Amino acid sequence: MILNTKKIPFDIKDNLIKKFILKYLASKSAKRNKDNLHPVAVFNNEWIGANMFVDGVYEKKFIQDIFDILYKIKINPNKGYALDIGANIGNHSIQFSKKFKGVIAFEPHQKIFEILKFNTKNLKNIKCINSAVGEKKGKVKFRDYPENYGATHVLKNHIKKNYFKVNISKLSDLVKKIKIISYIKIDTEGMEFEILKGGKEIIQKFKPVISLEQKKIEFKSKFNETPSIDFLRQMGYRIFIVKENFKTNNFLFKKLIIIFSSIIKVNISREIIELKNVRKKDYNFLIAIHEKYLNLH
């Protein structure tokens, strides 16, 4: 018996691509299970989630860079805490918890915070705080992006739709009981300067390594670079960036390496270099290291 019949479109190209992607993701998933990576829940419409589907860990190389830097400048992460400001669903916090004594994860968005708590509930050295971080205590409006929660940011105008209010506190007040802070990650869509000002006391005291995002729009003529970078330089910090380079200056050869790297393994040079002057452009992460540690080398 045929209960129902209907015609549906069948796209050969789309189905072939889908089969290839699913097979690729399945092989990646098998490798993650073999490596015993911590399983996490993700949003399926997010850039972070998409990367975690593929690699298991988002920005894995950058996280390793941070540990490499800490060991290089003789900071033992096992003795101190990491502050993950803008923790999202906990990708970085989970990795930090493996080597730091403890992690304080800050996430203001309630929906994201619920996933953060779920992903970290079995990790006893991670404390999650549902609060924005800034220069002073109060309330602040956040612009909501349901299609991309990672783009959620503090409202600096009077838009009346798609916003929510959250608690905001001064960073130094939130972590005043922590005895050693070794590293601070700030990924907050434009709130970096307010966070740094609110954490001035702990930055002066602990001189942690700090990583932060900087947007092109923050470079203005009244600053030497940006307010955040100027602040850090005044506090005795020097600014670094991670660069990946092929061992050639030939543009065509670089392109050929990129193409063939999908077929064969290609080694590249990954370097952490100092920026004496930060040029006007977007930076996913800059790394600030206090000169106290650099003078030892």
Please give the DSSP secondary-structure letter assigned to residue 78: G
For range 167-191, the mean pLDDT: 91
CA distance 199 to 226: 17
Q: What is the CATH number of domain 59-235?
A: 3.40.50.150
pLDDT at 57: 85
Task: Name residue, tokens 């869509």.
Answer: 189
- Predicted confidence band at 158 (pLDDT cuts at 50, 70, 90)? low
CA distance 169 to 173: 7
- Predicted confidence band at 155 (pLDDT cuts at 50, 70, 90)? very low
- Predicted confidence band at 161 (pLDDT cuts at 50, 70, 90)? low
Question: CB–CB of 198/223 below 8 Å?
Answer: no
Percent pLDDT > 90 in the chain is 48
The better pLDDT of the pair 134, 11 is held by 134
pLDDT of 101 strictly over 90 = yes
Please write the tens of the pLDDT for every residue from 109-133: 888 999 999 999 999 999 999 999 9
**pTM of the entire predicted model:** 0.82
CA distance 180 to 183: 9
Tell which residue, 26, 34, 16, 14, has the closest CA to residue 54. 26
Q: Are strands 81-85 and 102-106 parallel, antiparallel or unpaired?
A: parallel
pLDDT at 33: 63
81 three-state secondary structure: strand
For range 151-161, the mean pLDDT: 52
Percent pLDDT > 70 in the chain is 79
Question: CB–CB of 226/191 below 8 Å?
Answer: no
- Length of the chain measured in residues: 297
Q: Distances in Å between the alpha carbon of 102 and those of 15, 27, 245, 279, 294?
A: 45, 32, 34, 34, 25
pLDDT at 55: 75
Q: Distances in Å between the alpha carbon of 220 and those of 50, 232, 277?
A: 34, 16, 14
Please write the tens of the pLDDT for every residue from 244-260: 776 555 556 555 555 55
Please write the tens of the pLDDT for every residue from 70-86: 999 999 999 999 999 99
For range 157-181, the mean pLDDT: 80
pLDDT of 147 strictly over 70 = no
